[in-house]
Chain A
């Protein structure tokens, strides 16, 4: 079982690294936006998870098994969309004020009251790895693992 912070950072680096490479090599019409390269959204590029379970399997699997994965809080809700033309900024590290606050405002306020302002929620809360049910999910885990 991979845990916590260290893996998150590795995962994020991997996301940047591989998603850039993936897009650049295989899709010459890539888009450069939001500091990232990614393949141009095509008709068959609508399912982030479908590609990322191959491109960045650890991140994809962590998301799938996380609370966000079980609740189907999909990649674009936090990261925006690759062409940068969505309503959420296209970024690896979502801005808590822009994104996390939509659901976690009460928790953010509690944290702020307790520890002062820390703009980086992810440092302590690895959102891709906050698993939900542990053993309860064994039977239903992704086949891609």
Chain B
């Protein structure tokens, strides 16, 4: 269909006459919203921005939402957040338990379902030991849910096979922060946006993935036109609309660009020797401490001209952005999956942090290195409470005997209860499940049959008869439902109480707004019931309510720099989010970590302004990470690069957003974005069917031809269950963070 404005206007007069004959049209809907009986404070169910929402309840039903004016979002919501209510009452809601019999899910009672689950887990434990069972959780589960599951496993079963989908999205950011500072999580906060004069956005389409933060950046630029925005992305996304510099590069070569920026910063004498001389150790890739001269020597391989040859970015543009970054009064860098979902994800994270350490653009208002998280509670639920196979709560590590001993004492366990060997990371865990080495798996609040990379490999494993999967999932049409042996109906979002902790270390309480549907139970109740039936010692799992779990978490964290002690439930009910560390009930929460006068972990009379207490000498680490190619670079057979991501309308596997009529209609199915030059060469027109083929699988998508992707790159959003791009993606992973490289694989495309 091709219409010009002229064609349309030509028809207008005639058709309006016909309209007049039709008469006025009845309104099918009452435009006036019913005034809710009450507004209940909560947090948005979608991304890691963690916007506060007020849920409007009328007659015991969720009727509307609005932004929480007291939370960081100041009342604003993005289009997904504003359209949440229909999800709650979707016809696909799972409202009773199911057991798979003869290949079909059949309704069951809670007792029947839980008895079967428990018998499978008990058999696995008895016959194959604690390494044969696993928990696979989610950055969307509440903090209390993940803390509880992790404790049931690590303390109750002595099994460290506790993983979750944050391994697929944030593990490299954790690795980056931990290697650079000795401690995880960003040191700054969203308020840094309001004071920054330069934004360095790399590997992040903030505008579609963290819209309310993008709004804040845009508002900052609107308030001061001199504020600079640099967007480093091989796609010219909507985020690039506000960019002063859009840096398009050959996918995977950003490591060379970041090193070249450091080269320019030193060459232009925009570095800050007073800062790095006192607070930074220079480290080689093989963990040797060296001096600044060695770093300069390392950077000789990354002159802008050399980086241009690798990345395709003009040397002059690298010089310009390096100068912008270093000379601004305050630079905030943001990144997400473009850096994290890579086999060099940790290195890429380190290289961004290097620029901050080199310039001293850190630890002051408007200057920070900020990893944006993708899920509402990946930071607060999984990273902080230790819901991964190598972690214990509050930044402690399983492999460290002193950390295990400290926690065993806090938890009142017999010494040696926590197994000393970390469990299996996500890819290894699903490999083991596919080989039926993991016999019983508890999956909660996530959809791995859609979200794992190279997913055919894992769905094949999930289909086996000799392994067992119990799934707690609110929506019947989630892909993983096809493969589970038992399906449990969890209370959804507004039907339960608990905490979400967002990207800026802010923890906000979600109050229960309505009763759970049907026979749904909160995941906390499901897990407590599971622990009781499994015979876990009631002294280990003594909780009666979700608030009991929160209170234990406050105590457990209080001996660490995480320190949630002052974040009581009473405060959380009143306040719209508090940022940790928060050691006392009168502490307002922490905006900036590692800085005297801001971070309560640093004595007020400490001799230095900064203290990177994650390392014994109080110094951060600047790592010399070389450029290295992606796991699967394009070649003669597969000459293009495939990358994946989100669209603003949909979130993750679409199980929620596809329930909102407007969002479903906005993007009903996945598509492939093709550069206009490539399209011309391949004879592809907008709307044509195009076959994408990687070494894993092939699939046909409708083409969207534009200048968004650079030549040689194609993009497919990953939300669509009917066109799952993860059948084509690669499961190679970062050897440090174990996070897979979703963002780059080789592909060939042709008109279908």
A binding-site residues for B, Cβ under 8 Å: 17-18, 20-22, 24-26, 32-37, 41, 43-44, 46-47, 51, 54-55, 57, 67, 70-74, 76-77, 80-81, 84-91, 94-95, 97-98, 101-107, 132-137, 140
A-side contacts of B208, CB under 8 Å: 72
Complex Cα spacing A126 to B357, Å: 45
Q: Does B399 contact A (CB under 8 A)?
A: no
> Can you give 24 A-B contacts (C-beta < 8 A)?
A18-B8, A21-B14, A22-B8, A22-B12, A32-B25, A33-B28, A35-B24, A37-B19, A41-B665, A47-B666, A70-B242, A71-B214, A72-B211, A86-B661, A86-B662, A88-B662, A89-B29, A91-B27, A95-B33, A103-B67, A103-B82, A106-B69, A132-B222, A134-B225
Taking a contact as CB atoms closer than 8 A, the residue among B69, B244, B648 that contacts A72 in the complex is B648
The smallest C-beta distance from A60 to any residue of chain B, in angstroms, reads 10
Residues of A within 8 A of B15 (CB): 20-22, 24-25
Q: Are B242 and A137 in contact (CB under 8 A)?
A: yes
For B74, what are the chain A residues with a Cβ–Cβ distance below 8 Å? 106
Q: Say yes or no: is B653 at the interface (Cβ < 8 Å to chain A).
A: no
**Cβ distance A131 to chain B, nearest Cβ, rounded Å:** 9
Residues of B within 8 Å of A41, CB to CB, are 665
> Which of B13, B25, B35, B65 contacts A102, CB < 8 Å?
B65
- Residue pair A137, B668 in contact (C-beta under 8 Å): no
Q: In the bound complex, do residue A98 and residue B33 qualify as a contact, i.e. CB atoms below 8 Å apart? A: yes
Contact of A105 among B30, B69, B649 (CB under 8 A): B69
The residue from A20, A32, A80, A103 contacting B16, defined by CB atoms under 8 A apart: A20
For residue B32, CB closer than 8 A to chain A, the reply is yes
Q: Enumerate chain A residues within 8 angstroms of B14, measured Cβ to Cβ.
A: 21, 25
B242 near A136 with CB under 8 A, answer: yes
B636 sits at the interface (CB 8 A)? no
Which residues of chain B are near A37, meaning CB under 8 Å? 19, 22, 25
Q: Is the CB of A76 within 8 A of B19?
A: no
Chain B residues packing against A (C-beta within 8 Å): 1, 3-5, 8-9, 11-16, 18-19, 22, 24-33, 35, 64-67, 69, 74-79, 82-83, 85-86, 207-208, 211, 214-215, 218, 221-222, 225, 238, 240-244, 648-649, 660-662, 665-668, 687
* Docked CA distance A77–B661 (Å): 11
> In the complex the two chains form, is A43's CB within 8 Å of B66's CB?
no
A88 CA to B63 CA in the complex, in Å?
11
Are A136 and B662 in contact, with the CB atoms below 8 A? Answer: no
| Given A17-B12, A81-B665, A89-B31, CB of A71 within 8 Å of CB of B83 | no
Closest to A103 in B: B76
A98–B32 alpha-carbon span in the complex (Å): 6
A102 and B4 contact, CB distance less than 8 A: no
- B27–A103 contact, CB under 8 A? no
Q: How far is the CA of A87 from the CA of B75 in the complex (A)?
A: 20
Please measure, in the bound complex, the distance between the C-alpha atom of A76 and the C-alpha atom of B662, giving whole angstroms.
Answer: 6
In whole Å, how far is A14's beta carbon from the nearest beta carbon of chain B?
9
Q: Which B residues lie within 8 Å of A94 (CB)?
A: 31
Q: Known: A34-B27, A44-B1. Is A103-B33 also a contact (CB below 8 A)?
A: no
Contact B238 A55 (CB under 8 A): no
